[in-house]
Structure 1
Amino acid sequence: MGPWCVQVCRVLAVSPMRPEKQTYHPPTVKFGNSTTFQDDFVPQEIKPRQSFKPSSVVKRSTAPFNGITSHRLDYIPHQLELKFERPKEVYKPTDQRFEDLTTHRCDFQGLIGETAKLCRPVHTRVTQNARFEGSTEFRESFQPWEIPPPEVKKVPEYVPPTGSMLLNSTSHLDYVLYQANRVVPIRPVSRRRSNSFPFQGKSTMKEDFPAWESCRQGLIKKQQQIPNPSGKFDGLSTFRSHYLQHELIPTESCKPLNIAFKSSVPFDDVTMYSVEYTPKKQEICPASYPSPPGYIFENTNSQGHKFFCKITPAVKAF
């Protein structure tokens, strides 16, 4: 390293190379450079979308209505089939007498068994003349026994002590009598004045606040504004002088008279029930037959009940 390099290093070490501080001044010219967004974005014209909503304006036709509809054009009338009508059965009363038999009476068979025996004990009547023996379960089971008398505790006889009693206590033996001086009171000595003249009985209160006479206040009566009438009352009031008496009209009663309607025409004994009632055919219970008509035997269950199925007759249409 040469002497020149050493000199330059000394100069740099002594005074560092710093740029001078410059104050910032904002530019007065408008920023002319464009941004990436401005370069790449190409503005396009906004076109409104076409609305597919139908217009709310009602279009009225000028041609008159010819009365033709899609139902009238497309509808094909079909011929209806004849409805099957079941003939009504005429009720015919039976000539046989009612047997008054039920399913329970026909099917139930009573079982023969022994008559139930009474478990009730035999009632023995007690006569009033019988004498009471006087022995009970309590008297027989619990016999009396002798109870020994209680032992009496012997009290020892009192023996008075011998010799004389010493009336000395601990305080009498240990207490030492001291001679104490009388305590002198600390309060000041009262100096009483001996006045020979009598007490006048005057004070500041009596001189400044003398007593005055007091009397009871009378009743405060309000002065009457309306004067009392001076003449004699003739007995005529406002209601009697202005009231007009009206004649009372009784209300007409709409209640019908409580009289039984009697007709001279004889009773024909014809009622709605006797005219319109149609007696129906009384059917016999199929369970009373060994093999009921109109039913087919199916099976028998484990309990012995038989099951039948009803035969449905084939119905032919017209």
Structure 2
Amino acid sequence: MKQPRCLCEICICGRHRCPHKPTKIYDNGPQPRFTTEYGENYPIYGNVPPPRSLRPKQEYQGHRGRMEGMTTFKSDYLPYDIVKRPFRVQEEYKPKTGEMELRTTYRKDYNAHKIQPVTLVRPLEREHTTGGKFDTIPTYQDDYRSWAVQRREPSKVDAYQPPTVKFGNSTTFQDEFVPKELNPRQSFKPRCVAKLSDVPFESATSHRASYIAHQLGPKFMRPKEEYKPSNQPFEGLTTHQNDFKGLPGQLAKSCKPEYTKVGSNAQFNGVTEFQDHFQPWLVSLPEVRKTREYVPPSGNMDLNSTTHLDYVKHKISPAVPIRPVSNQKRTNAPFQGTTTTKEDFKAWDICQQEITKKQQEIPKPTGKFDDLTTFKSHYIPYQIIPAQSFKPIHLVPRSAPFQDETTYRTEYTPKKQNICPAIYSSPPGYVYVNTDSHGHKFFCQLTPEFSESNNNLIPKEVAVVS
């Protein structure tokens, strides 16, 4: 039994391919065989070795002798005698007596110098003054002469007189506005008088007359379903946890160095540099300022302000409205649907207007139709002279019989019709083996008749036509 072949490799027409659809996530089986147009047109040659390279090989040629344990560092390094570092005994701290001096290096080394005022480099202004009096007439006073202009009296008559009483003057609107007598317009609206009917009101309606009360049946109530818990225990596995299988592998090792505590648990009894240089000194507490006790003022409080004392109230009459008084009369009578428009304007009987047609200027023909057109009445037939043909007469010689032999009939050799074995569900001469995860169907060849060279089948029902 030969090696199984895919359906893509059995096909000879190039139109049959396996559906490349994966069926599972991880595949531990054989790798899929992808067929391409390049792989079909350019097959792999069997026993053709690759060309030999003429490039020299870069191989390491190690030392054949024995390796000595002496290095350059060992030969050149000279060891020195190691002497221990002398330990300095720390002196005992003794606090200084007396008060702290607040002197600094700036106050100690700085020497104050006497500074003289800076002299001005700008030259002094020279004032050219004389003791005589300047007695001249300027050009403006010499050329300009003032005219004797009398003051013009204003043409506007100022009839303003200050009032003797506060808010005694009238406004511009009160001076210019002249009140007129109101003449109400005559109303043509009919009087709003309710027209009461003497006929008693009939309370019978179509709904009361035609309505038949039907007795309602009991309302259908759907019984509530009782909750029945499941007897099977709940599985906490999901589809992902149930179907997913991770790849086996080792856990990642940490590259972090192990934590080692540096130092000792002994208590530190020494003195630091901060304790040596910065010694505490006595600081006086800040003086607490006592608040004064509140002493209320004697006597009663005067609640009068300048506004209360200086303001004088004036009796002002309210402004009289100038708009006319509306003569609205409200009645409690019911609203009548009749208006003057409905009573005076009655609907007219409107008739449909006839269509105005224009009279025809051309009278219609009377009598029977003669079936004679203008073309028939005016057409004059002419005799047609056929054109002379200059084409040579084609005469077929019928002396020899017609030979129906062609190059196609003499040289054509009928060939067998190739049928692709992949059109069948199970190719003849092959047995189905399996289908991989990528959808490729593999078949195994049984008989030597269906080989790679003769892989064509011709059924008996197919007739070959030349």
Larger Rg: 1
Structure 2 length-normalised TM: 0.20
Greater relative contact order (CA < 8 Å, ≥ 6 in sequence): 2
Structure 1 length-normalised TM: 0.27
